Structure 1
Amino acid sequence: MEEEEQQQPEGSRRNWIFQLIFKTVVLHLVISLFTGSQRGKVDPSTGKSAQLYHNFLGDKELYDVYVYVTPDGRGDFQSLESGGQLVFSAENQVYSHKLNRAYEVTTSTVSASAIFFNEDDSNLYATVFLVPHKAYSTRATPFYKSEFKDGFDGHMVVETVALTTMRTVKKSKEVNLVGNNNDEDEGDGEGGEMCKHWIPRLDVNVVYDVTPRLSAPGDVYFEAHTKYPEESVYDPLLYLSQFWVLEEHYQCIKPTMGDEGLNLSIHFSTCSPSYYMFSTQFKLNSETGGILGTQSAKEFEMFKRTLMTTNIYMLLFSGAFIMLHSVFSFFALKNDIQFWHKNDSMEGLSALSVVINFVCDIIIALYIFDSEHVSWLVLFEIAIGVVASAWKVSKAIRITLTRQFPYIQVGNARNYVESNTKKYDKMAIKYMSIVMLPCIMGYAVYSLLYHKHKSWYSYLISVAAGSVYTFGFIMMTPQIYINYKLKSVDHLPWRALIYKSLNTFVDDVASFLIDMPWMHRLSCFRDDIIFFCYLYQRWAYRVDPSRPNAWNTSPASQEIQDEDKQESLDAQPEAAAENVTNLDEHPTTGKKSSKQPTRRK
């Protein structure tokens, strides 16, 4: 019932969107101060007019892109001839940019020497060449054997990036508690061990920008370009990014992998300067923890995964449903608290269900906190639910403090004891226990034999949470059974139930948009069954204002009693004032007494 899950990041997705948009806008405004309409401005470092630069690659000009894997990062033709492997080529490309242009993806298998797989100091590099067609004198295949023009007109753009990185191998914390653990994955390694990892993805972006630029100090964007002052030319920006590689995509290098080869996926496209600034700012946030706040690596990983696996429309749809989820949860909690705050009678309400739900909420909270696959949004909501459940328990049962051990005395409310509700409640709990106990015991044995756990505590919490998630709808049956026996539903907090029902359908969608354990995700659909049962009982046991309920009172008569009570309360001040007036009159004549009170000297 519980699946093995990889470590997933956690965090708040909405905060990320707002912070990144704000930082990108601020960065764009700062850059605009130095790049927009600055012709004729003075460079303070030289005291001369700032030099105006033009892009070496003009609009609509043709160019070629070649990606080679080399054993060194020199970036010259000698490294290509000595052992370079061509893994990607895009020829006759037009220097332009189209919004939402898709990546051109090519996956190649890279072979490496035995030294690379056995020594951590041996690396591989991706060398990318951007060759304008106007730089060729005579083209040939492969391109580095072509003849190029002399001087500046025959130059090209070359960028190099390493395809390996040293990372700490994280060993799985889960073990088989009763069996042997010799079947661990080879990739786990020792906890904390450093291992050379292969980076299987490289994004090659040609930044399209033909705007004339001034060499102004502090221009972060333009400082990333290679400039040639004598020709007043800057090279097009060739942006190589490995930022969109997820945690599980890194591949630990082992000596046994020499015969298999390594897969390298090249994603090629053109991009705008805005995308370049957004991506570099995002990368800077991941390295520094953010300028406006601190975020964990898991939060970055979760947000990257969301952007990679979700299109923009689904992302907006996700944000809307998360907002609805929060709103309905708030109103459901608000009306539930209002109902229990005003409720003075437990007639028709299952006190045992309230206590069981409180215990289940604690178990779920401990399980969610113990899980690595969770969002802080879910943790916060569950914590609020635990506090509310604890408060409802204090309203459902009578708790008193004593001077003798165990210093707490728990009892039932008087109206709960004297009504048939307690009898039906115990009957429902009895039938529920008969069904649940064999299922829970079977699941506990199955989980112990076939699942891995971090510790015995994690095992117990996992079994308890799995039982709550899987058989939790059975725990909600006492209230349904009480409604069936009393043939009434007018004692339920229907306003809170309506908000909870709306939130249930939102949860069905949001459960696949927010990171959470699979059992917690499936429990959202379990609640739908209970809601439809309540809907059927609402239809079958319709509330008639003139019909007495199970306690020989009707809503209409209750309203009349409330009005009479309010009228009597309003009449009390008038009666008190009349009594004061009568005290001032003479007992026989009815005239007011003229005797003044004697003042003591």
Structure 2
Amino acid sequence: MPPAAAAVAAGGAAAGGQQQQQGGVSTFLQAVLRMGMMWYMFNMFKGGGQQTAGTGAASGGMLRPLYARGDLVDLRMFLYERPYLHDFAKGTLVWELPGVALGTTPEHKHTYSYRPSKAVQNNGTLFLHAVFSRAGVDFAAEDLPPGSVFTKTLPLIRYMAPLKNKTGVNLLAAEGGPVTTPKASQAVSDQEAAPAQWVSHFKPNATLSIIDHFTAYTRANVPQPLREHFQFADQEGEQYLPLSYFDEFWLLRDKMVPVNDSLLETPLHLEVKTGSIWWMQLQQQMEQSFNMQTSMGIAGEGESDEVKRIFLEGNPYLLALTMVVSLLHSVFDFLAFKNDVAFWKDNRSMEGLSARSIMVNAVCQLIILLYLFDNETSTVVLISSGTAVTEAERAPPGLPPQPMCLPWF
């Protein structure tokens, strides 16, 4: 086969492979590369030295931790349908964990069977309140020293559109018969035709991470990612409370439970663990990158979940091998496109070439591109598939060659 036809065929096979892998491993590599570029651009353009007004923070002085590593606190978790829990007696105590050592405590797990109320079943809200108090202190007393009791709150209800129905049609069945029954097919059609409605979903997992970080800072040197996590014990803002946050990085959309009248009981898995400051900052950077990619249209909705799923369910050795193969695939795809451009640039004759094969390959590539565009594939995959749609138009002998056609560019 001539080099031009081979390059076009290789481009077709590459685009077909990308179309098959768009929801799997190739998506991981593309998302990681985009995340790295977004992280670099974010750090380059965000600017340094800008100080935000913290809670009670002045321009000078020191910030010191109120608690030290190893101090004991009592932890209680309450369920309440409002974001603020002023009266602890109104909340539902779901877990009590005494004697938690800050910065050194091992993992603790607990499962609670939650029965949603009528208000929650009808798109109501629900919050998990983690209440810290010094060990042995009555957390409900009113005359406690500042910083003796502090809380962290997590909304357990998330409103989002339901996942798309993945029921399809078996094209290999006799006469193209559908996989589902006629009534089920009609229900699927009605569901697709109806406008998308936001549905409340229950988060079945709640992981509270207590950061092992007890460092004094000058106010001007507080790292920017930590500012939003700082809670101060007094209005002067000289002593900050232990850093903690609810880790939702590994909570995927398809693991959430839709809430409606039929949901009578569901488990709530609680976990308390010690986390590191660098892992918290890495999670923040990755979440910011995912959100930025989605807002800019580079990544599709829920594509970050597929990347996280690869980390959760994939073999690390196979993942490393896949990254290497994907990089080589991208390099070979670029070289094939480069050689294709160089060949048609200097070509003066169609001798030995099959115009029919070239046109058929170009049409196939265009069909693949339109299919990816119709399925709302990420922009990176569309660009890669669009560059493969190349068609060389050659005039009759004796006339100068016509320029190469690059659709979508």
Q: TM-score, normalised by structure 1?
A: 0.48
Alignment of 1:132-211 (within 5 A): 132=134, 135-136=135-136, 151-152=144-145, 155-169=148-162, 179-180=182-183, 181-184=185-188, 190-211=194-215
Q: Which residue of 1 aligns with 2:383?
A: 380
Alignment of 1:117-128 (within 5 A): 117=121, 119-120=122-123, 122-128=124-130
Aligned AA for 2:253? Answer: E
Q: Which residue of 2 aligns with 1:301?
A: 302
Query: Which of 71, 89, 94 in structure 2 is aligned with 1:85?
Result: 94
**8 Å Cα contact 2:299-2:378 kept in structure 1:** no
Structure 1, residues 314-369: CA drift from partner, whole Å, max 9, x if none? Answer: 6665554433222111212333444554474644x555433332332222222222
Structure 1 residues 283, 219: closer, same or farther in 2, change over 3 A?
A: same
Q: Which residue of 1 aligns with 2:70?
A: 60
Query: Which of 47, 57, 61 in structure 2 is aligned with 1:51?
Result: 61
Query: Which of 240, 256, 267 in structure 1 is aligned with 2:262?
Result: 256
User: In the aligned structure 1, how far is the partner of 2:78 from the partner of 2:189?
Assistant: 33
Q: Which residue of 2 aligns with 1:18?
A: 37
Which secondary structure does the structure 1 equivalent of 2:188 belong to?
coil
Q: Which residue of 1 aligns with 2:7?
A: none
Shift of 1:126: 0.8
**8 Å Cα contact 1:13-1:303 kept in structure 2:** no
Structure 1 spans left out of the alignment, 5+ residues: 35-41, 45-49, 139-143, 402-601
**8 Å Cα contact 1:227-1:234 kept in structure 2:** yes
Matched, 1:323 2:327: yes
Structure 1, residues 499-543: CA drift from partner, whole Å, max 9, x if none? Answer: xxxxxxxxxxxxxxxxxxxxxxxxxxxxxxxxxxxxxxxxxxxxx
Shift of 1:210: 0.9
Aligned AA for 1:296? Answer: G
Shift of 1:106: 5.3
Alignment of 1:97-108 (within 5 A): 108=112
Aligned AA for 1:16? Answer: M
Q: Which residue of 1 aligns with 2:245?
A: 239
- Structure with higher RCO (Cα < 8 A, 6+ apart): 2
Q: TM-score, normalised by structure 2?
A: 0.67
User: In the aligned structure 2, how far is the partner of 1:43 from the partner of 1:231?
Assistant: 8
User: In the aligned structure 2, how far is the partner of 1:186 from the partner of 1:198?
Assistant: 26
User: In the aligned structure 2, how far is the partner of 1:239 from the partner of 1:365?
Assistant: 43
Structure 1 residues 97, 303: closer, same or farther in 2, change over 3 A?
A: farther
Matched, 1:95 2:102: yes
**8 Å Cα contact 1:169-1:190 kept in structure 2:** no
Structure 1 residues 267, 59: closer, same or farther in 2, change over 3 A?
A: same
Structure 1, residues 398-420: CA drift from partner, whole Å, max 9, x if none? Answer: 6999xxxxxxxxxxxxxxxxxxx
Larger radius of gyration: 1
**8 Å Cα contact 1:169-1:189 kept in structure 2:** no
Structure 1 residues 281, 6: closer, same or farther in 2, change over 3 A?
A: closer
Higher helix residue share: 1
Q: Over aligned residue pairs, what C-alpha RMSD do you find?
A: 4.7
Which secondary structure does the structure 1 equivalent of 2:296 belong to?
coil
Which secondary structure does the structure 2 equivalent of 1:184 belong to?
helix
Structure 1 residues 250, 188: closer, same or farther in 2, change over 3 A?
A: farther
Which secondary structure does the structure 1 equivalent of 2:307 belong to?
helix
Aligned AA for 1:20? Answer: W
User: In the aligned structure 1, how far is the partner of 2:127 from the partner of 2:150?
Assistant: 16
